[in-house]
Chains A and B, each alone.
Chain A
Amino acid sequence: MRMKRLMLGAAALSVMAPAAMAERGTDGQLNIIYWQAPSTLNPYLSAGTKDTESASMVLEPLAGFDTAGNVIPKLAAEVPSRENGGIAEDLKSITWKLKPDLKWSDGSPVTSADVKFTADYCMNPDGGCAQLARYEGVEKIETPDDLTITIHFKEPRPNPFTAFTGSQSPVLQKAQFEACTGAAASTCTEQNFGPIGTGPWVVKEFRTNDVVTFEANPNYRDPAKPAFATAMIKGGGDAAAAARSVLETGEFDYAWNTQVAPDVLAQMKSAGKGETLAAFGTLVERLELNMTDGSSDQPEGERSTAKHPNPILSDERVRRALSMAIDRGMLNEIGYGEAGKPTCNLVPAPEAFASDNTGCLAQDVEGAKALLDEAGWVVGGDGIREKDGRRLKLVYQSPINPIRQDFQALIKQWWQDIGVETELKTIDASVFFGGDAGSPDTFQHFYADVEMYANNFDGTDPEPYLAQRVCAKMPSPETQWQGENINRFCDPEYDKLVAELGKTAEQPARGDIAKRLNDMLTKDSMSILPLIARGRFSAKSVTLGGVDMGAWDSELANTADWFRIK
């Protein structure tokens, strides 16, 4: 009813003013639903997607990413490169130029001092900045004039687009946050809930974990944008309810992360009020195969450490057989539908870094059986293979999540078919990812043979992500179980190649090395079995135009361009 009245109103408006093409604030209210409600609008205090994306309505970085993953200017006049002199020959500094005459939403000018302040704010050791990694290796920041910022790095930086690039590291207003540095960061509730920004929107009201309302920014640099006058991000409920509110009832214009079962979604879409959008980034659901022995046969303190290689999975043929037994296409159909793609790569995107590795996609049960036979595992009386008195039995763990439990059941069945017994284990996600050094159930402890979860990398450059798999980054009791080499893969050749990647700046060469690293982890060693490349999956109303969802920046980074289709 209300929708109808709105549409009638919109229709009447378009009749009255056919000449006015795009004008700020003419399209009424934009309703967005994030079923995980935003908790704060300061992305430096929270790394949660819901928070950084909501904040991107207001705060902007110097540069962002387009849908193809290319760096595009936001507050910067142009993207620095070696050609335009923005990136130094020795790769140790990058110089940004701000667009002239930029204004904060309160009308004051944006200067290089704001940019420098933002870096200082995040790098303050007492602030607990969630985006600190983006400023790692920054030696000093110089501001020769009001529009110029030069960032100096301690080491040569082949990919300098971390600080101030993407919605996770936007520019804060110095005047507003000056009193909020260090330990005072979390006491500045008013600032954190209502940052003054340069984006198309101004925060009108922020209710934490509930709802945010915005008004169009009167000082936004494009006088014709945003087309909507007000906007709202509502939080709460679950993915299905969010999808329904866009696709079936039309109460909302845009719903974030509408990951629901493919059959339920198809039924919702039949109402014809909305459509779904998918964009594929770097998130990969994978099986990590433990190269060390995580079983309780080993004494505490030596479980899952390099001291004891895994008695079963150390054999590359067994790992390969496990991969061959899996039908990734079917997994995707059951679990993700349009929101996923079967993959064999740990780095599935961007294109320049993605290997053309598709060998794992076809299931080959007979091949898997033959490989296990060859490895000396013979089928025992109950159908389970044995070798030297040891049963081919694996413990397979994953965090609690309905799709993952479906995957576990399917994979267990496939492995059963090739004579592998699987014991399934599920762990609460907050424990699994919690990183508590005292809990044996974290994914870093990996007290199992196989574990399944999803991970991705920030931005478009996989170097830090691939560098996680060097020998030195194994979690162990000595490192309080910190470390990102989760499956304890260790290959000196790999370490050498990672070091080489750190020294290479030229694009095609970087891509080639990254592809080789990816292949070493996946198709060569089979130590990581990628399953599904998971996309971003959101829904929009058929009346909402201008949405251009990419996987590399905030989904809401271009709300300035959104408009109502009349």
Chain B
Amino acid sequence: MLNFVLRRILLAIPTLIFISLVIFLLLEASPGDPLGDVPLTVPPEVREKMREALGLGQEWYIRYFLWLKQFFWVEPLHWFDQIFGTSFSQGMQRIISFQTRSPAFDVIAQRLPQTLTVVGMSYVIGVMIALPIGIISAYRQYSWFDQIGTFISMVGFSLPTFFTGVVLIIVFGIKLQWFPSIYDTTHRVTDWDSFVVQVRQMVMPVTVLALYNAAQISRFMRASMLDNLRQDYVRTARAKGLSEKVVVLKHVLRNSLIPVVTVIALGLPTVFGGAIITEQVFKVNGLGQLLILAINSNDIPMVMTLTFIFAILIVTFTLIADLLYGFLDPRIRYD
């Protein structure tokens, strides 16, 4: 087991470095200019000076290695300093975003809470809705409950979030005015009233995303349950005289959860990636909005850092999913 983990981690390092190089080269090759948003009233000479101040005068490979150094050496040193009050990173340049001229990691840290509360909550709620729906749908296949469940998940699957989001805003935000149409990221929960305000502003974005997540996961749950319900061991369990509750919830559910848990684990990195469209529609301004803004303004260091963190998360959660598999299903062994 430990061997397997170590081998996978060692293998992940060259993969990640290769990914970072590919991202960098893609960004380099893509058209666009970090100074494209600077108004035309700024004369070209000044523009050139600004470009130099951003470090864009250097060759691409120098900038790439500089980024690698900043990501793997300067940033960890900086965090170490922050925690232990040392000053190893004194005078070292951290990864600076072009748009804001501030350290990219500070901005990411600032954005993370919004994304985790809204996107994370919608994932949790989505899973909590999806599992029972999947179980009941499979157990009572082709019943009216199954038909409705299938219909709703089809709707969730096929309606894009930019559509459902705008519909919700128009109906509940503008016509009925039940919920605010603009998310306030500075709101702090201190007492019951402010908690209610927070819940009200989260309702619409969480609903949109939860519907989408639940649709996917409930389909997996249903399919997996159906596979298992037809197995011989289920018939055996029933023949032994076990109650339906025990048969379904203990035997079938446990076995059906194995693939579903991996699907859920593999989906977790997307929580950190934020929901680009939904965040934009509801002005949640989390990591997804940060990424799209950075891409639009060709903020190479920010895009690099964000996408690379996503890559790390994806590699990590793939590993976790693999390990969970072995943990849940004793038949699978890694040695």
Chain A residues proximal to chain B, CB less than 8 Å: 1, 33, 37, 39-40, 42, 45-49, 125-130, 132-133, 183, 185-187, 189, 192-193, 205, 207-211, 213, 232, 234-237, 241, 244-245, 248-249, 251-252, 428-431, 433-436, 439, 441, 455-458, 482-484
Question: With A and B bound together, what is the CA distance between A439 and B31 in angstroms?
Answer: 8
Q: List 26 A-B contacts (CB under 8 A).
A: A42-B101, A127-B53, A128-B49, A130-B50, A186-B101, A189-B101, A189-B103, A208-B100, A208-B107, A209-B285, A235-B283, A235-B285, A236-B280, A241-B182, A245-B182, A248-B174, A428-B31, A430-B32, A430-B33, A430-B296, A431-B31, A431-B32, A433-B37, A435-B36, A436-B31, A484-B44
Secondary structure at the B interface, as helix, strand, loop or mixed, is loop
Kindly report which residue of chain B lies nearest to residue A242, judged by CB atoms.
Answer: B182
Q: A37-B285, A130-B50, A183-B53 are in contact. Are A211 and B181 (CB under 8 A)?
A: no
Let me know if B283 and A241 touch, CB within 8 A: yes
Question: With A and B bound together, what is the CA distance between A458 and B100 in angstroms?
Answer: 23
Chain B residues within 8 Å of chain A by Cβ, number: 54
Kindly report which residue of chain A lies nearest to residue B36, judged by CB atoms.
Answer: A430
Let me know if A33 and B102 touch, CB within 8 A: no
Let me know if B36 and A205 touch, CB within 8 A: no
Question: With A and B bound together, what is the CA distance between A155 and B35 in angstroms?
Answer: 30
Point out the residues of chain B lying under 8 angstroms from A235, CB to CB. 283, 285
Point out the residues of chain B lying under 8 angstroms from A125, CB to CB. 49
Let me know if A47 and B99 touch, CB within 8 A: no
Let me know if A431 and B33 touch, CB within 8 A: yes
Point out the residues of chain A lying under 8 angstroms from B297, CB to CB. 430
B29 to chain A, nearest CB (A): 11
Point out the residues of chain B lying under 8 angstroms from A241, CB to CB. 181-182, 283
Decide if B93 is an interface residue (CB 8 Å cutoff): yes
Let me know if B293 and A209 touch, CB within 8 A: yes
Let me know if A128 and B107 touch, CB within 8 A: no
Partner of A40, one of B43, B101, B280, B289: B101
Question: With A and B bound together, what is the CA distance between A423 and B38 in angstroms?
Answer: 29
Partner of B35, one of A37, A431, A435, A484: A435
Decide if B118 is an interface residue (CB 8 Å cutoff): no
Let me know if A249 and B181 touch, CB within 8 A: yes
Partner of A47, one of B42, B106, B284: B42
Q: A40-B101, A192-B101, A429-B36 are in contact. Are A186 and B186 (CB under 8 A)?
A: no
Question: With A and B bound together, what is the CA distance between A3 and B186 in angstroms?
Answer: 18
Decide if B236 is an interface residue (CB 8 Å cutoff): no
Decide if B96 is an interface residue (CB 8 Å cutoff): yes
B264 to chain A, nearest CB (A): 30
Question: With A and B bound together, what is the CA distance between A244 and B54 in angstroms?
Answer: 37
Question: With A and B bound together, what is the CA distance between A365 and B49 in angstroms?
Answer: 47
Question: With A and B bound together, what is the CA distance between A333 and B182 in angstroms?
Answer: 30
Let me know if B177 and A249 touch, CB within 8 A: yes
Let me know if A482 and B285 touch, CB within 8 A: no
B48 to chain A, nearest CB (A): 8
Decide if B81 is an interface residue (CB 8 Å cutoff): no
Other 10 A-B pairs with CB < 8 A, given A39-B101, A193-B102: A47-B38, A129-B49, A208-B110, A209-B289, A211-B285, A236-B283, A428-B32, A430-B31, A431-B32, A458-B41
Let me know if B102 and A192 touch, CB within 8 A: yes
Partner of B173, one of A39, A48, A249: A249
Secondary structure at the A interface, as helix, strand, loop or mixed, is loop
Let me know if A456 and B41 touch, CB within 8 A: yes
Let me know if A434 and B110 touch, CB within 8 A: no
Point out the residues of chain A lying under 8 angstroms from B99, CB to CB. 39, 208-209
Question: With A and B bound together, what is the CA distance between A126 and B53 in angstroms?
Answer: 6
Kindly report which residue of chain B lies nearest to residue A483, judged by CB atoms.
Answer: B44
Decide if B224 is an interface residue (CB 8 Å cutoff): no
Point out the residues of chain A lying under 8 angstroms from B50, CB to CB. 128-130
Point out the residues of chain B lying under 8 angstroms from A47, CB to CB. 38-39, 41-42
Kindly report which residue of chain A lies nearest to residue B110, judged by CB atoms.
Answer: A207
Question: With A and B bound together, what is the CA distance between A132 and B50 in angstroms?
Answer: 10
Contact with A along B85-127 (1 / 0, CB 8 A): 0000000010010011111001100110000000000000000
Contact with A along B249-274 (1 / 0, CB 8 A): 00000000000000000000000000
Question: With A and B bound together, what is the CA distance between A458 and B40 in angstroms?
Answer: 10
B154 to chain A, nearest CB (A): 29
Decide if B46 is an interface residue (CB 8 Å cutoff): yes
Let me know if B43 and A189 touch, CB within 8 A: no
B131 to chain A, nearest CB (A): 33
Let me know if A210 and B285 touch, CB within 8 A: yes
- Across the A-B interface, give the 10 residue pairs with the lowest CB-CB distance, nearest first: A128-B53, A434-B33, A430-B36, A186-B101, A236-B283, A189-B102, A210-B285, A482-B44, A434-B36, A430-B32
Decide if B52 is an interface residue (CB 8 Å cutoff): yes
Let me know if A434 and B185 touch, CB within 8 A: no
Question: With A and B bound together, what is the CA distance between A133 and B40 in angstroms?
Answer: 12
Point out the residues of chain B lying under 8 angstroms from A130, CB to CB. 38, 42, 46, 50
Q: A213-B186, A249-B177, A433-B36 are in contact. Are A186 and B96 (CB under 8 A)?
A: yes
Point out the residues of chain B lying under 8 angstroms from A234, CB to CB. 182, 184, 283
Let me know if A436 and B33 touch, CB within 8 A: yes
A543 to chain B, nearest CB (A): 17
Within 8 A of A (CB), among B21-76: 31-33, 35-54
Decide if B298 is an interface residue (CB 8 Å cutoff): yes
Question: With A and B bound together, what is the CA distance between A236 and B280 in angstroms?
Answer: 7
A335 to chain B, nearest CB (A): 20
Question: With A and B bound together, what is the CA distance between A40 and B103 in angstroms?
Answer: 12
Question: With A and B bound together, what is the CA distance between A42 and B53 in angstroms?
Answer: 15
Kindly report which residue of chain B lies nearest to residue A433, judged by CB atoms.
Answer: B36
A376 to chain B, nearest CB (A): 37
Kindly report which residue of chain A lies nearest to residue B170, judged by CB atoms.
Answer: A244
